[in-house]
A and B are shown apart, each in its own frame.
Chain A
Amino acid sequence: MASAKPTTGMEGARKRPFWTIQRKDHVTGLIFVAPQFIGIITFVFVPLILVFYYSMHEWNVLAGTFTFVGSENYEELFRDRAMPGVLAATAIFSLGLVVLNISLALLLAVLVNQKLTGMSVFRTLFFSPVVVSVVAWAIVWRFLLQSNGGINGLLYMVGIEGPNWLRLPHTAMISLIVVQTFKSVGLNMVLFLAALQGVPRELHEAARVDGVPPFKQFYRITLPLISPTLMLVSIVTIVGALQVFGQIEVLTQGGPGTSTTVLVYYFYQQAFQFLNFGYGSTLSIILLGIVALLTYAQWQLRRKVVFYEH
C-alpha cells in the first residue's frame, strides 16, 4: 500500500502532520473491527475464562454458597456413572447424523442437479424444513411418532405394526437422527449443489467419450473435485451435531432411560434444571475439548483427503 507521506526533503521546514493517511487508516481499521472484536472478547473470551474458574467451585444457588474445591468437579466427572453413557450417546448421535446427513445431501444434490424440468421446485421443497422453527419441526414429529400417531398409522395401512418409536432406546435414537437429518439436510444439499456445479462439464464429457461408467465418473472425478466442500461441510455438520438440543428436549428429554442424553443435554440438565453451576461448567469444558479435538483432527485430515487442482 502506497504511503502518501510527502517527501519533499523539506520536512524540517514545515510541521509533519500527525494524522498521516497511514495513521488515519490504522485508526479506521481499528474502529471498523472494534465492535466485533470487543464482542468476542466480552462474550466469548471472558466467559471462557470464567467457565474454567466456575468449574473449580461448588456452587449452591439457593443457599448462595460458592466454595473453591479445586479439581473435585473433574474427579466427580470421572466417577459419574452417567458419563460413559452420555459420551456413547453423543458419539452415536453425532456419527449417525453426519453419515446420514452427508450421504443424503450428496444424493439429493446429484439428483436435483439433473437437467430436468421442475428441479427448482424439488430443491425448494427439500430445503423448506431448514427455515421452519426447530421446535415446531420437533413438535410435529413427536406427534407423528406417537405409538398411535401418523407414522404408525401409515405403516398400519400397509400392514406393518410400527414400534413405539420414542419409548424404546434404539428406535428413539434412530428417530432423533432421522428427524434432525430431515431438518438440516436441505442446507448441505444446497452447498453440495453449488460445488457440483463448479465441476467443469468437459471432464465428464471426456470421460463419457472414453466410456467411463457414471458411477466411476462420480468416484474419480466428481468426489475429488468437491472434496474441499465435503470437508468443510463435514466439520460444520459434526460440530453442529454436538450442539443439537431443541429436538432432544422436545422429542425424548434424554430418554428412554438415558439413551438419548447427549453431552449438551446432560449439561443443560445439570446446569439449568438442577442448577449445579459448578458441575455444569465442568461439562462445558469437556464439550469444548471435544469440539476442539474434532476440528483439529479434521483440519489435519485435510491434507490427506482434500484434492486440489493446483
Chain B
Amino acid sequence: MNTKLSPRTQVALYGLLCLLLFPFIFPTWWMITSSIKPISQIFAFPPELFPSRVDFSSYTTAFEFQPFARQYFNSVYISVVVTVLTMLICSLAGYAFARIKFPGANIMFMVVLMGLLVPSEVTLIPLFQMFRAWGLSNTHWPLLLIQTIGASSVFATFIMRQFFITLPLELEEAARIDGLSRLKIFWTIALPLSRPALAAVAIFTFLHSWNSFLEPLVFISSRELFTLPVALVNFTDAYGGEMWNVQLAASTMSAIPVLVVFVIAQRHFIEGLAHTGLKG
C-alpha cells in the first residue's frame, strides 16, 4: 500500500476512522454511564452524556436479585473448561488426520467435516431429549459436552489439521527414527510449534462458549445454573417488567472484564486469528 499520504489525506483518514468508531464505542459508553444513573434519569430527554447524579444501587441489586456471582462463575468455568478440553481433543484429532495414515481416516474426516454444515439449532430438540433420557436435564453437562465435541468443535479440528499439514515432515521423521512414540512427537514437537493455531482455536472456542445463548436457554431452567447471557435477560421484576438500570449494571459487569483482558492480550488475539489459514 502507499507509504506516503498527503497531510490532508491523513487528516481525512483519521476523521473518517473516528466517525466510524462511534457506533462501536458509544454503546459501551452509554451502558456504563447509564448503569450508574438513578432510574429516573435513565430516560431523561434530552439525554445526559454524563450522569448528573450517581447511583450505584443497581450494582448491588443485581447481586441480590439473582445469584449473579454464581452465574458469572458458571459462564467463566464452562468457557474455560470447554476451551481447554477442545484444545486438547481437537489438536489430537487434527494431528492424527494430518499426519497419521490409519484405516478409515479419510471417511472419518469427511464425517467430522459434516459437523460444519449442521447449525446447532437443527439438533437442539433431539439433544434435549437425549440429555433428558440420560437424566442430565438442567445440568451443565449438555453445555460442556456439546460445546467440546459437538458441531462447534469441528472448526477447531479443521484449523489444527490445516496447520499440522504445513509442518515440515523432516522434524517428525527424525524423531520417529529415534524411536519416539506418536504421542511424544505430538506433545513435544508438533504441539509447541502450533502455538498460533492453538491461540486461534482457544479464542474462537472461548468466545463461542462465552456468547452462547440458545443452548443454555433451552437446557437450563434453574437460576443458580444460568450462564451470563441467560441471566442478563432475566432481570425482570416479578411481573415481567424491565429493570433497566440493573440490566445495564449486570451487562457492564459482564462486558468490562472481558474487554480488559482483550485489550491486554489483543495482540495475541488478533494475530492468532490472522493465522487461522482462512486465507484459503
Residues of chain A touching chain B, judged by Cβ–Cβ distance below 8 Å, are 1, 24-30, 32-33, 35-48, 50-51, 54, 107-108, 111-116, 120, 122-137, 139-141, 143-144, 146, 148-150, 153-154, 156-157, 178, 182, 186-187, 190-191, 193-198, 201, 204, 208, 214, 228-229, 231-233, 239, 242-243, 245-246, 249-250, 264, 267-268, 271-272, 277, 280-281, 284-285, 287-288, 291-292, 295, 306
Q: A135 and B43: CB pair below 8 A?
A: no
Q: A195 and B279: CB pair below 8 A?
A: yes
Q: For A135, what are the chain B residues with a Cβ–Cβ distance below 8 Å?
A: 213, 228-230, 232-233, 251
Query: For chain B residues 217-241, which have a beta carbon within 8 Å of chain A?
Result: 217-218, 228-230, 232-233
Q: Return the contact of B150 from the options A39, A50, A148 (Cβ within 8 A).
A: A39
Name the residue in B45, B96, B118, B125 with the highest tally of chain A Cβ atoms < 10 Å from its Cβ.
B125
Do most interface residues of chain A lie in helix, strand or loop, or is the interface mixed? helix
Q: Return the contact of B102 from the options A25, A195, A280 (Cβ within 8 A).
A: A25
Query: For chain B residues 120-157, which have a beta carbon within 8 Å of chain A?
Result: 120-127, 129-130, 145-146, 148-151, 153-154, 157
Contact A139:B251 (CB < 8 A) given known A29-B96, A114-B13, A187-B273: yes
* B240–chain A nearest beta-carbon distance, Å: 12
* A197–chain B nearest beta-carbon distance, Å: 8
Contact A291:B119 (CB < 8 A) given known A40-B150, A149-B43: yes
CB-based nearest A residue for B154: A40
* A218–chain B nearest beta-carbon distance, Å: 10
Report how far A232 CA is from B171 CA in the complex, Å: 31
Q: For B118, what are the chain A residues with a Cβ–Cβ distance below 8 Å?
A: 44, 48, 288, 291
Q: B183 and A28: CB pair below 8 A?
A: yes
Residues of chain B touching chain A, judged by Cβ–Cβ distance below 8 Å, are 1-3, 5, 10, 13-14, 16-17, 20-21, 23-28, 30-31, 34, 42-43, 45-47, 89-90, 92-93, 95-97, 100-103, 105, 108, 111-112, 114-115, 117-127, 129-130, 145-146, 148-151, 153-154, 157, 181-183, 186, 207, 210-211, 213-214, 217-218, 228-230, 232-233, 244, 247-248, 250-252, 254-255, 258-259, 262-263, 266, 269-270, 273-276, 278-280
Contact A36:B149 (CB < 8 A) given known A191-B274, A194-B273, A295-B117: yes
Q: B108 and A33: CB pair below 8 A?
A: yes
Q: Return the contact of A44 from the options B26, B89, B150, B266 (Cβ within 8 A).
A: B150
Q: B2 and A204: CB pair below 8 A?
A: yes
Q: A134 and B1: CB pair below 8 A?
A: no
Q: For A272, what are the chain B residues with a Cβ–Cβ distance below 8 Å?
A: 217-218
* A144–chain B nearest beta-carbon distance, Å: 6
Q: B125 and A277: CB pair below 8 A?
A: yes
CB-based nearest B residue for A21: B176
Q: B121 and A287: CB pair below 8 A?
A: yes
Q: B233 and A116: CB pair below 8 A?
A: no
Q: Return the contact of B103 from the options A26, A232, A281 (Cβ within 8 A).
A: A26
Q: A231 and B27: CB pair below 8 A?
A: no
Contact A141:B126 (CB < 8 A) given known A29-B102, A229-B278: no
Q: For A43, what are the chain B residues with a Cβ–Cβ distance below 8 Å?
A: 123, 127, 145-146, 149-151
Q: For B229, what are the chain A residues with a Cβ–Cβ distance below 8 Å?
A: 133-136, 246
* B163–chain A nearest beta-carbon distance, Å: 15
Q: B89 and A35: CB pair below 8 A?
A: yes
Q: B24 and A125: CB pair below 8 A?
A: yes
Contact A191:B273 (CB < 8 A) given known A131-B262, A139-B247, A153-B47: yes
Q: A25 and B27: CB pair below 8 A?
A: no
Report how far A33 CA is from B119 CA in the complex, Å: 22
Name the residue in B25, B89, B118 with the highest tally of chain A Cβ atoms < 10 Å from its Cβ.
B118
Q: For B250, what are the chain A residues with a Cβ–Cβ distance below 8 Å?
A: 136
Q: What would 22 A/B residue contacts be, using CB atoms closer than 8 Å?
A: A28-B96, A32-B182, A36-B157, A43-B150, A44-B151, A45-B114, A108-B20, A127-B266, A128-B263, A129-B27, A130-B207, A132-B258, A132-B259, A136-B250, A137-B27, A140-B27, A140-B30, A143-B34, A190-B274, A246-B213, A268-B214, A284-B125
